[in-house]
Structure formats: C-alpha cells, structure tokens
A = this chain, B = another copy of it.
Amino acid sequence: MKARLTIDEYTSGILTGDRIVLGKAISLIESNLSTDEQQAIQLVERIIDKTGNSIRIGITGVPGVGKSTFIETFGKFVTGQGKKIAVLTVDPSSQLTKGSILGDKTRMDELSKNNRAFIRPTASGNVLGGVANKTREAILLCEAAGFDVIVVETVGVGQSEVAVKNMVDFFLLLMLAGAGDELQGIKKGIMEMADSVVISKADGDNMKHATEAQAEYQQALHLVPSSISGWSPKVLTCSSLTNTGIQEIWKMILKFKDHATKSGFFEQNRMQQNIAWFQEHFNHLLKNDFRRFPSIQAEFINLEKKIADQKISVQAAANELLSSYHRAIKNS
C-alpha cells in the first residue's frame, strides 16, 4: 500500500474503521509538508460530522508510575466491554536530544494486537502547540473511525498536561504511593486539573501505602477549588498486576460522563475547548503567514543580523518587521 492516499481513500478507509488507513491519515496530519497540510485540512472537513461520539480521557503521571501498563489493562477491560479504544500520546521530547521519552520501550504489547484497539505513539515535535493541534485532529479521525474511547497519554512534564487537559473530557492522574513530598509538591498544579487520581501498583506489600495515600490525596483534593463541572474528584486505587480496581475506574468515568451530560457541562466544555483551539489555530496561521512574502523573509534575516550586531533593540526590530508585513499585505 502506498504511503499517501487520495482524500477519498482516506475518508472511506476511516469511515469503515480501517486501522491501517487511520494510521496513514494520522501521518498525513503530522506531516509538515504544505501539500500534506492542505490535504489534512480537507480530510478533517470531510469527516467532521462523524466526530464527537466518544469519551476522551487524558492520562498523565510521572515516568515510572506505570502508565503503559495501566492503559494496557484498562484497554483490555474496555475492549472486553465491547468498546473500541484508541490510544494517542502527546510527547514533548527532551529539549536537546529530541529523543522520545516513550519511544524506546515496547509498550502495550497485548493491547496493540487487539483488533478493537488502536495505539499510536504520536510523533513528537519541539513545538508543543503544534503537537497539541495535531493530536486534536487525530482524536477527530479516531472518532470518525468508530473508536468510542479515546485515551490521550502524556508524560508528567508541566505544559503538556495543560495541553492534554484542554482536549479531553476526563483527566486522570496516575500516582505512586510513597513517592515523596517533593513529587507531590511538583504535582500540585496537575492535581487541581484531575477529575480523578488513581494510585497504581496497589498490590502486595504496597497495598498499605496505597490505601494510606488514597486517604491523603482525597484529603488534599478537598483543598482544591471545586471544578466548574460540579464533579468532585475521586481517588481510587488499582493494580495492573492483580487486575483490581480497573472496573471501578471505568464505572467512575461512565458516572462522570452521565453527570456531566445531564448538567450540560460535557457539551459546554467541548465547545469551550473548540473555541480555545480556534484561537490557537488562528495564531498558528498568523505566525506563519508572513513567510509567504520573500521580501519579509529577507527583512527578517536582515533584522536578525542587526540584532546580532547590536545595531537595534529587539523591540524596535519587531515593530519594524510588523510594519513591513502590513506593507506587504497592502501591496499583495
């Protein structure tokens, strides 16, 4: 099968739930080639009215907390309930090496062989905004392909969690019992975003720690300002090893969806997410618009040189470039 398909081939493949075509379509979306970008926009337009019919679940937690194992166990349970699950990953790479934090592990081995599951470790990029944008589009494609549970996984590093929170319905934070106060400190902002904290590896000798941590986190969450959803975050425990707690987590998510649908929060939240996405996407277009004009590109380079030679301040240079951009648009 060739690397790139026609729009019709992408569309019909996705709408019939063909996972290979879905994978290729996500590659198209991830491409930075401008012809691919054009096609990706068309593709999203084509499938847009088949989207939205899923529960979008964000999952985060520090490396070592057992996210992959949890998602594998959770995915097996959910597919066992007759659901189709898609797993996407937002992975802002290590700044200098550009290496993937997640890519080097064999992950979710069993789930990946399940034909009700689709696992896609999204290629990472150095611009988080860009990655987030592409992940949002990938969610839409998965929905159009009939996946009714979409998991968006992220590593526990600040900004990426905010990005994921802003594209999901339900945000789940995986934590380890007894991982130390420092770790909890750094997670404070993340905790506030969570609809649920799940304490993983609650088995064997760890059981006591996990139960204690559950009480502690539940207490901590009482200090968090209550969410506009009206939902009180729940703290649960689970073990992928002994396969316990997974059903309760799924029940909780269904309960949340029911609660949020009845209160109108579910639709309201998605609407607000779309509006925020629109603003971001417009900024993205704007940021790249001036590259259409060779004269502006040339001036950009010229101003960079002046800044390097300390002949102009950063602020003055930026103002000058904006004026030139206006002139270029007027003359176009």
Interface residues of A (CB under 8 A from B): 41, 44-45, 48, 62-65, 94-97, 101, 128, 156-160, 162, 165, 176, 179-183, 185-186, 188-189, 192-193, 224-225, 271, 274-275, 277-278, 281-287, 289-290, 303-304, 307-308, 313-319, 321-322, 325-326, 329-330, 332
Contact = CB atoms under 8 A, between A and B. Distances in A.
B282 A189 contact: no
Contacts of A289: 322
A318 B44 CA distance: 14
Q: Which of A94, A188, A278, A326 has the most CB of B within 10 A?
A: A278
A304 B313 CA distance: 37
A313 B64 contact: no
Contacts of A44: 313, 315
A159 B92 CA distance: 10
Number of copies: 2
Contacts of A160: 158
Given A162-B95, A192-B95, A62 B186 contact: yes
A185 B64 contact: yes
Contacts of A313: 44-45, 48
B278 A95 contact: no
A163 to B, nearest CB: 10
B162 A315 contact: no
B97 A308 contact: no
Contact of A186 (B63, B282, B285): B63
Nearest to A40: B315
B182 A176 contact: yes
Contact of A281 (B274, B290, B318): B318
Contact of A96 (B193, B274, B290): B193
Contacts of A317: 278, 282
